[in-house]
Amino acid sequence: MKVAEKFLKYVTFDTMSNEEVNDCPSSKGQIEFANYLVNELNSLGIKEVKLDEFGYVYATIPSNIEKRVPTVGFIAHLDTSPAVSGKNVKPRIVNHDGNDIILNVEEKIILSETEFPNLKQYRGKEIIVTDGLTLLGADDKAGIAEIIAAIEYILENNVKHGEIKIAFTPDEEIGRGADKFDVNYFNADFAYTIDGGELGELQYENFNACGVKIKIQGKSVHPGSAKDKMINAALIAAEIVAMFPKAEVPERTSDYEGFFHLSSISGSEEYASLSYIIRDFDLKSFCNRKRVVVEIVDSINSKYHKEIATCTIVDQYYNMKDQFKDAMYIIDIAKQAMNDLNIEPKVVPIRGGTDGARLSFMGLLTPNIFTGGHNFHGKYEFIPIESMEKSKNLIIKIIENIAVTKGR
């Protein structure tokens, strides 16, 4: 089955993760999708396939060569972002002719080159888009489709290879994808997450990241008699938001610049809450940003002479760059495979994170490779079919190249 056909099937599963749920996985749809993938892997004749109690899918393809070469792993995640609904995804394939793509007539949702200039490079190409009401799910169902399509090709064509490991993880989008990953069971020498963006991306630098939850306890009193009594939690939440640096937000930063991102806000007079994510490549700057949050909360409590605001800060992952100081050969393997396929390597920092960031600190060095997708986490998401095929071919080429390296 072609990689695009697999992808179109996979996006029918609603696998949106939920940070408010502590279970692993955090949503039922992830288990349903995991079970589907287990059955698909079994149907390919792969003998060693495992779905564990936490929703992680593992599989091993034994070596078919005599010499010992490095065991390589390929990893993608099951869940989609909670930023936009992943339920009832209705993808369609369009041949982009340069004109605006009308995603949804009723809602007047349009994918245009004016708003998204990266669309220009795909004129004359087939791309998969949404109906404008949900995200597409290329992050990271495209990665899963590309991995399985590559393995399917290798098995059907008796491609020579060393031992190959694959894994599909839950809850990556809410920062938990590596929480219960069994590195020892996976037992690869190194791995690649197939979770990047446009064609050619190769990444081994990422943000340091944490999640922040600020809770405000107010005091609700009838507004007719509220003078000197009411503490309006919703207004204090707005006050806190205004205290953050206004220029240090995702929509006003790029490259190596960090940010504070308000991901949700809710509240009433009695209670309000804010959720932020903090991102920064530099560890010292990252720590300073966390300090800013604490200082803002302390300032509010000082102003109101009581502890009405509390904050919880949870580190999620760290920049994996330093882990590769003595292991750049892993990056070079991917670069060489790209060059072999006439794909220009684009070694860029990840303005985000992958499971690989945390796994690299857990003893499994795992840089990130492109899926081909654009505009992740939103209704304007799209992915070119040609880029998906090239990602699949890259996985195959990495496996082939490793098989011809000097044995150990």
DSSP sequence for 142-165: HHHHHHHHHHHHHHHTT-----EE
Reduced to 3 states (helix: H, G, I; strand: E, B; else coil), residue 257 is: coil
**Closest of 295, 75, 292 to residue 164, by C-alpha:** 75
Catalytic site residue 172? yes
The CA-atom distances, in angstroms, between 179 and each of 5, 26, 187 are: 31, 12, 17
Tokens coding 85 = 């609904």
CA distance 74 to 86: 24
Q: How far is CA 134 from each of CA 75, 130, 215, 382, rounded to the nearest angstrom?
A: 25, 7, 29, 12
Contact criterion met (CB below 8 Å) for 317 and 366: no
| d(C-alpha 399, C-alpha 342), whole Å | 17
Residue from 14, 40, 152, 172 carrying the catalytic annotation: 172
Which of 14, 79, 171, 198 is catalytic? The answer is: 79
Maximum Cα–Cα distance for the chain, whole Å? Answer: 84
User: Cβ(295)–Cβ(212) under 8 Å?
Assistant: no
Cα gap 218→236, rounded to integer Å? 8
Residues in the chain: 408
Active site residue 257: no
Measured CA to CA, the distance from residue 211 to residue 191 in angstroms comes to 26
Strand order in the sheet with 208-217: 259-267, 271-280, 208-217, 309-317
Secondary structure of residue 218 in the 3-state scheme: coil
Helices (H) then strands (E): counts for the chain: 9, 17
Catalytic residues, by residue number, are 79, 172
